[in-house]
Chain A
């Protein structure tokens, strides 16, 4: 299997400048994280807010540079601070954000939203752009009729489909999914997760799936990395991590996840009776 993404000891510090009375401060958002992801696999990154998982997502998507450490995508070392990032490199990684209400421009039609990445990064002629956008709409379960509509005419689940379609327009190898289903209803969540699984099979996509919902992670991930205050406290295959969590934080996380099975309801009711 080919390794699509490799991170070696990624570090990210944010410097908060001081003022007249305040001292300058450095926040260590990411303290040396390493991992590899193979083509067609899904790495899930789990952790609570403030643990650095979105910072990691931004570094992987080449939005922010890492303070130190190495990032290899498709075997090529990438350092965006040196300004040598070609559009070809940019094309390899795309991102889908959490909130589909905020990530689509309300003044752009769906067709323009989908063709914009092609205009910026490629020299595709207009009619071909249109054809590709139409084809992508069908792929994500929408319709050609939707090409000329605006984002407000769609439901949350449909918008997330549009955001996924936009991310796939450049045929990326790697897709960073930053909590893609946490803003969606249960029924819609199932549809979007199914869509992601289908697209992964079809295009051999590699996913980095950032989430705090362990039941979704258990369903979709091949490998799991648990983060806590900027450190990867647990990293292994899904079955390893779920069957035998080693770090105390992972155990706390599992214990805190509400269980919806009959046995645990019975146990809770019995405890309540006794009390």
Chain B
């Protein structure tokens, strides 16, 4: 059975100029122990579809779907109290800006222990022991000392490690990583990706990687969903996506990589990919 099943997801935002459709009929499945990458440019709805699945969108968003289930349980019809028991425990998320997603007013130790207290109900000594274990697992040196530090005392890469530690604190079945390495240097990016892949394999988590970096996709994913303007353009396993992309948009995206440049000019997406009129009408 699929871990997360999304069928025909539509997300609309109420704006001053009428409803704006950010996600338009997206379907996807994530299986246990699978790494799914969602690729797209800004505005393609890749983050919004995941936020919708977790119920984290503001009230201005209208979310409808034929099916939106996690582990067989319907996420849409669930009360928010019930959902809170799942979010952060069985499904957890890592965000793009590691420094901004931690609370600057509290020590990182407090923030990780908060999760352990709410979801697992551990006592004080148990929380501290588990927090140290988690910091060790994500490769933070001198974990007992580090628990007392504030986010501003740590580097961006270390903050992302703390975020990952918080996200895996309750052994989630599904981890959603929203551009986890975009704000980091390449050498740190490599370390964080290696860490995520190791944890995914060790814990047998499902992992959704939201990214716009084709290199990150190539290095991590089993299966890939390509999104454009809120629509799913293509879904394929990673090898066939890079070897023989079916959709014109994917082909244009791959051709625009400077790695694949032949000759002096880079082909741009607007030259290679003409937005189908049917899509334009539907998406606006």
Enumerate chain A interface residues (CB-CB to B < 8 A): 48-49, 156, 185-191, 193-194, 197, 212-216, 218-220, 252-253, 255-262, 264-266, 268-269, 275
Query: Can you name 9 A-B residue pairings with CB atoms under 8 Å?
Result: A49-B156, A185-B42, A186-B214, A187-B253, A214-B186, A215-B258, A252-B187, A256-B190, A260-B259
Q: Residue among B41, B238, B268 with the most chain A CB within 10 A?
A: B268
Which B residues from 149 to 208 make CB contacts under 8 A with A? 156, 185-190, 193, 201
Minimal Cβ-Cβ distance residue in B for A220: B258
Decide if B269 touches A190 in the complex (CB within 8 Å).
yes
- What is the number of residues of chain B that contact chain A, defined by CB distance less than 8 Å? 39
Decide if A275 touches B201 in the complex (CB within 8 Å).
yes
Judged by a CB distance under 8 angstroms, whether B242 is at the interface is yes
What is the distance, in angstroms, from A261's C-beta to the closest C-beta of chain B?
7
Judged by a CB distance under 8 angstroms, whether B256 is at the interface is yes
Q: Residue among A197, A252, A262 with the most chain B CB within 10 A?
A: A262
The 3 closest A-B pairs by CB, nearest first: A258-B215, A187-B269, A256-B190
Q: Which A residues touch B214, using CB under 8 A?
A: 186, 260
Docked complex Cα distance between A85 and B120 (Å): 65
What is the distance, in angstroms, from A180's C-beta to the closest C-beta of chain B?
13
Enumerate chain B interface residues (CB-CB to A < 8 A): 41-42, 156, 185-190, 193, 201, 212-219, 238-239, 242-243, 252-254, 256-261, 264-270
Q: Which B residues touch A261, using CB under 8 A?
A: 218, 242, 259
Decide if B187 touches A193 in the complex (CB within 8 Å).
no
Q: Tell me if A's interface is mostly helix, strand, loop or mixed.
A: helix
Partner of A265 from the list B185, B239, B267 (CB cut-off 8 Å) is: B239
What is the distance, in angstroms, from A99's C-beta to the closest C-beta of chain B?
13
Q: Which B residues touch A257, using CB under 8 A?
A: 186, 215
Decide if A265 touches B259 in the complex (CB within 8 Å).
no
Q: Which A residues touch B201, using CB under 8 A?
A: 275
What is the distance, in angstroms, from A47's C-beta to the closest C-beta of chain B?
9
Q: Residue among A185, A255, A260, A269 with the most chain B CB within 10 A?
A: A260
Q: Residue among A156, A218, A258, A269 with the most chain B CB within 10 A?
A: A258
What is the distance, in angstroms, from B218's C-beta to the closest C-beta of chain A?
4
Partner of A190 from the list B242, B243, B267 (CB cut-off 8 Å) is: B267
Docked complex Cα distance between A156 and B256 (Å): 17
